[in-house]
Amino acid sequence: MTRTRPMQPLVAGNWKMNPTARSDALMLARAAAATAARHQAVTTVICPPTVFLAEVAAEVGPSRLAVGAQTMAAEERGAFTGETSPLMLAGLAGFVIVGHSERRANDGETDEGVAAKVASAVAHGIRPIAAIGERIEERRAGRTEEVVDRQLHAAVSRLEAIHGSGLVIAYEPVWAIGSGEAASPADAQVVAARIRELLGTVDADAAPQVPILYGGSVTGDNARAFFDCPDIDGALVGGGSLDAASFEAIVAAAEAAAAHRRTPSAEATRS
């Protein structure tokens, strides 16, 4: 199926609970800002730990690099020990990862919670990167589609519209995260196409424009094969975003894939 791609590929680095030293975080952020400046055809995002967000945002200043948070509360204020309000993030973070599998597994994040956070992020002008994906036992049981359908439906269930929401979906098979064993691009494409089809049942006009990222052991070596898939518009990168050179290689691969698609011959073969 031919579709109009989102304006730009999107590569987001999820630093998780790394690096632990402020100086290392600022150094990594400066390197990512330089990467973003060198590859302006890619929307490049880094998601540092919350404690470094303000300093990282100040360090990169107004640049091509966007800054995101790794999670946030749906609520604006109140008795939510340890949480971060969307009001605190607004103006600081342009993106927020919601529903990462580590938070689903370790912090009791539920489909309902993800739905509330996605809606809250959108309401506060922060683009949600909603992470969904099956666990290994679910894949082995042939339940990938069912799990992805359920998580996706939940993630968008409290949005009034997908159009204009800034929604990003990250398909991250849980077994591929941090394992060094990425999904095959063909398998990831099958799920990404399914995600797009489902988005189309909610909003047919907006679905082609929603960036769908692949995540799970993306490296500078394997990234291009994902970016060449018709329904994969970028990557959510964990370990590979902690090394400046490997993050640069992934962003460069996204730019090269997009440039390849823009050549007349690539257009001709796609239509």
Q: Which residues bind ligand PGA (CB under 6 A)?
A: 14, 172, 177-178, 215-218, 236-240
**Nearer residue to ligand PGA within complex by CB, 179 or 263:** 179
Alpha-carbon distance of 64 to 40, in angstroms, equals: 7
Cα 162 to Cα 8, 99, 126, 206, 213, distances in angstroms: 18, 18, 14, 6, 16
Paired tokens of 8: 């730009």
CB of 235 to ligand PGA, least distance (A): 8
Beta carbons of 45 and 65 less than 8 angstroms apart: yes
CB of 215 to ligand PGA, least distance (A): 4
CB of 16 to ligand PGA, least distance (A): 7
Residue nearest to ligand PGA (CB): 238
Catalytic positions are 100, 172
Alpha-carbon distance of 211 to 52, in angstroms, equals: 26
CB of 216 to ligand PGA, least distance (A): 5
Of the candidates 257, 206, 259, 202, which has an alpha carbon nearest to the alpha carbon of residue 235? Answer: 257
**Nearer residue to ligand PGA within complex by CB, 113 or 240:** 240
**Nearer residue to ligand PGA within complex by CB, 29 or 203:** 29
Number of other CB atoms surrounding residue 256 within 10 Å? 18
**Nearer residue to ligand PGA within complex by CB, 188 or 203:** 188
